[in-house]
Amino acid sequence: MQLRERPILVTGGAGFVGSNLVTRLVREGARVTVLDDLFTGRRENLPDGIAFVHGSVCDAALVERLVADHELTFHLAARNIVVSTRNPREDFETNIGGTLNVLLAARAAGNRRVVYTSSTSVYGNPRHLPINEDDHLSLLTPYAVSKLAGENYCMAFYESYDLPTTAVRYSNIFGPGQDPANPYCGVVAKFLESLLAGKAPVIHGDGNQSRDFTFIDDAVEATLLAGTSDRSLGEVFNVGTGVETRVNELAATLIALTGARVTASHTDRRDVDNIRRRVVNIEKTRRALRWVPEVTLEEGLKRTVEWQRARTTPAAARAGA
């Protein structure tokens, strides 16, 4: 991927996806700087050998200085769907205003390359499955609105200023490093936390809602390809698996993998992200980026269970000491 010694900026790099991306970049020999306000990210998530700047993408002057010093920016900084729904103004300022700051800085620095991480939330409840990148969009949350706005700004800067931009739409990423202590983490981490504590996982709704669960290593690989391939410029790509999994099936698989003697329980539907079915078509990503996911859901869940057990066991031992 020709990343060795390349100066690369990762906004939101201390979060779950960001820190995994940073770790991979360091392994590839890149010179990495992370910008993160630590709203949900954690400094200890990051590997040694990187430069860390505690700050926000809402700080236009800071963003302009940092982007100018790097050839490529992976822009992951954002408020998540829960925070965005509770505080739409903060969502607007961070997700839209912060993205505009990054793009303006990239243009001012001489058209630095930007990869923007979006979300399959922009599809809402789709009319057809699997979902293609050019299918109808249904914006059901402030988060979906702001994520699509960021995509549109990226495409507008590509068309208007020849700024090399790419957007990737993530679908329910999970894996090692997703901290269940974070109240905004995904369903896999929440279920696993309950199961390893001997408690039943709690499913919102009837559990027949489906998602396209994507392992973190596959998502990172797709993101890197989006940042290094000329075929990605000015394009938007789905990052998923093309496999639809019901939440009931997810819970059953995790119960079997952990050996927990519990049965999943059910509660009311969530106030946000009430999507009934989701599975994305990844054919465009496969053709353009030569990318296919390599980790199956069951294998990814196995790795996640092992990681969570490894970090839980020492903590339990310390507590009992």
Region 140-145: mean pLDDT is 96
Domain 174-211+243-279+295-315 CATH assignment equals 3.90.25.10: yes
Q: Where in the chain is the domain with CATH 3.90.25.10?
A: 174-211+243-279+295-315
Region 218-234: mean pLDDT is 98
pLDDT above 50 for 321: no
Q: Where in the chain is the domain with CATH 3.40.50.720?
A: 7-173+216-239
Active site residue 143: yes
For residue 317, the model assigns a pLDDT of 46
Region 109-131: mean pLDDT is 97
Residue 127 to residue 130: CA distance in whole angstroms:
9
Percent of the chain with pLDDT strictly greater than 70: 95
Regarding predicted confidence, which is higher, 183 or 247? 247
For residue 74, the model assigns a pLDDT of 98
Residue 280 to residue 300: CA distance in whole angstroms:
18
Annotated catalytic residue: which of 123, 143, 153, 170? Answer: 143
Residue 18 near residue 41, CB atoms below 8 Å: yes
Domain 7-173+216-239 CATH assignment equals 3.30.365.10: no
Dmax over CA atoms of the chain, in Å, equals 62
What DSSP designation does 150 have? Answer: H
For residue 272, the model assigns a pLDDT of 67
The mean pLDDT of the chain is: 94
| pTM summary value | 0.95
Q: Which residue has the tokens 């069951």?
A: 298
> Which residue from 231, 240, 219 is spatially nearest to 288, judged by alpha carbons?
231
Residue 14 to residue 166: CA distance in whole angstroms:
21
Residue 201 to residue 189: CA distance in whole angstroms:
10
Lowest average pLDDT, out of 3-17, 247-261, 271-285, goes to 271-285
3-state secondary structure of 241: coil
pLDDT above 80 for 63: yes
